[in-house]
Amino acid sequence: MSSTDVYPVSERNKARRMRDRASYDVAAVHALLDSAMLCHIAYLVEGQPYCTPTLFWRRGNQVIWHGSVGSRMLREHAKGIDVCLTVTHLDSFVLTRSAFAHSVNYRSAMLFGKAHLIEDPEEKRLAARDLLDTFFPGRSDLVVPPAPLEVKQASFLKMEIEQASLKVRALPASFETPEYRHTPVWAGQIPIETRALPPVPCETLNEAAANADDIVLYREGGRLDATLAKIRKDHPLEP
């Protein structure tokens, strides 16, 4: 799956509405994933759908997430079941003068594939490192490594992205029927941003670590999507 490809389109991932907002471009989907850390995963347990929030990251065309062996989700996913993994950024309220034209601007990717438990010990060791390094490059070499029992308690799941769709809406409030333009009601956008604030050290911080490099990109705060995208661009996890 190279970055010039598009994901195959079928009934499963084809946009039903607002088709002009949809894309199946691999590079665009990967870029959205790389700007995020939280996803929601839909899966089935005995006929009941569940929607579970979790941290995730991308390695090549795989997405990987983490959880405890005891969890409901992981027990089911280990069987290689169908899941839908969705990542959403809400970017603004769009307030228009017409009730019907109100909207939100957003970016969202919906991924389809089968989730599998990572069972190979070496692959699992790598996933445990990635879980830190994908957010704080190099950190897995600095911290106290997991004990054998801790490794045993942890589980990681991986999903090859079989299909995906990306939807982006980025339109101004003036994208409404022109006849309403001068109605005396407020119109415009209220931007919404998710930010990482400057790090707050633990009370028992060892002074030798006060200026640690692994969190340097978070020191000034700023948009979380931009910070994550920069980290993933500078430190890509190769397939």
Query: Which residues inside 14-73 make contact with a second copy, applying CB under 8 A?
Result: 16-18, 37-38, 40-44, 47-53, 55, 68, 70-72
User: How many other C-beta atoms can be found within 10 angstroms of the C-beta atom of residue 1?
Assistant: 15
Closest to a second copy by CB, 26 vs 228, is 228
Q: Name the segment binding a second copy (CB under 8 A); options: 1-9, 25-33, 212-220, 230-238.
A: 212-220
CA dist., res. 52 & res. 173, Å (int): 33
By CB under 8 A, the count of residues binding a second copy is: 96
Name which of 27 and 38 has its Cβ closer to a second copy: 38
Mask of contacts with a second copy, 89-118, x by CB under 8 A? -x--x-xxxxxx-x-x-x-x-x-x------
Residues 134-163 that bind a second copy (CB under 8 A): 135-136, 139-140, 142-147, 150, 154
Whether the CB-CB separation of 52 and 43 falls below 8 Å is answered with yes
**Do the beta carbons of residue 82 and residue 120 sit within 8 Å?**
no
Angle at 108 between CA 103 and CA 110, to 5 degrees: 130
Q: Does residue 7 belong to the site contacting a second copy (CB under 8 A)?
A: no
Nearer Cβ to a second copy, position 62 or 103?
103
Residue 91 contacts residue 107 (beta carbons within 8 Å): yes
Say how far apart CA 81 and CA 109 lie, in whole Å: 20
Contact call for residue 231 and a second copy (CB under 8 A): no
Nearest to 136 by CA among 79, 78, 57: 57
Single residue of 5, 119, 193, 220 touching a second copy by CB under 8 A: 193
Looking at the Cβ atoms of 170 and 197, the one nearer to a second copy is 197
Cβ 155 to a second copy, closest distance in Å? 11
| Token representation of residue 100 | 């019907």
Kindly state the smallest distance separating residue 170's Cβ from a second copy, in Å: 14
Shorter beta-carbon distance to a second copy: residue 3 or 68: 68
Q: At what angle do helices 224-234 and 26-34 cross, to 10 degrees?
A: 110
Helix (H) or strand (E) holding 132, with range, is helix 121-133
